[in-house]
Structure 1
Amino acid sequence: MRCIHRFHRRMVESGDWDRILRVLSAKLSEQGWSDELYHRAKERARMMDPPLFKTILEEITLHGEATVPVSVRRETTAQIRQFVKDQFEK
């Protein structure tokens, strides 16, 4: 786990973390994933009385993780792998 934290810190310090997140966010928006997730959460909140944030968050998180388009997942994973590879080459 410690190694993961070091790589994350390096990614943040180098600016790669923000760059990857921006690309990820743009790709998910382009494919309508972000809007679909937002509307799903909104609908779920409407069905609850009272709406419970924790419950909605848990349900939406599970759905979101399961529905990320494969192409976006692969591209993001490839970018992270490239960063790790570049770190070992230094």
Structure 2
Amino acid sequence: MRSSINQKLVESGESERLKDILRTRLIECGWRDELKAHCKEIVKRKGLEHVTVEDLVAETTPKGRALVPDDVKKELLGRIRTFLAQQST
């Protein structure tokens, strides 16, 4: 079911529109700046020579997901539901 929904989103171009909306909302709420500061803290703590991209991804992914505001999640979920309702009619 999930792959079918994802396929519909991609084929229609809705996936890209949703990504753009998400990117904009995350910038507006300060999520991007907060995660950027978190990355800088990691690099400062470990030292530039001892940090890899994989390290940053592993350490920032859980925090990044936790920092996404509930209203942003709800907005995107609502847009996906609306899209699916329009597809079924």
TM-score (norm 2): 0.87
Q: Which runs of 5+ in 2 are unaligned?
A: none
Q: AA paired with 1:23?
A: I
For the 8 Å contact 1:41–1:60, the answer to whether it is kept is yes
Q: 5 Å matches for 1:1-90?
A: 3-49=1-47, 50-89=50-89
TM-score (norm 1): 0.86
| CA RMSD of superposed structures (Å) | 1.3
- Paired amino acid for 1:64: G
- Equivalenced residue count is 87
Q: Which runs of 4+ in 1 moved over 4 A?
A: none
Structure 1 runs not aligned, ≥5 long: none
Residues of 2 paired with 1:40 and 1:8: CA distance? 31
Question: What is the CA–CA distance in structure 2 between the aligned matches of 1:46 and 1:52, rounded to whole Å?
Answer: 13
For residues 70 and 5 of structure 2, the distance between their equivalents in structure 1, rounded to whole angstroms, comes to: 24
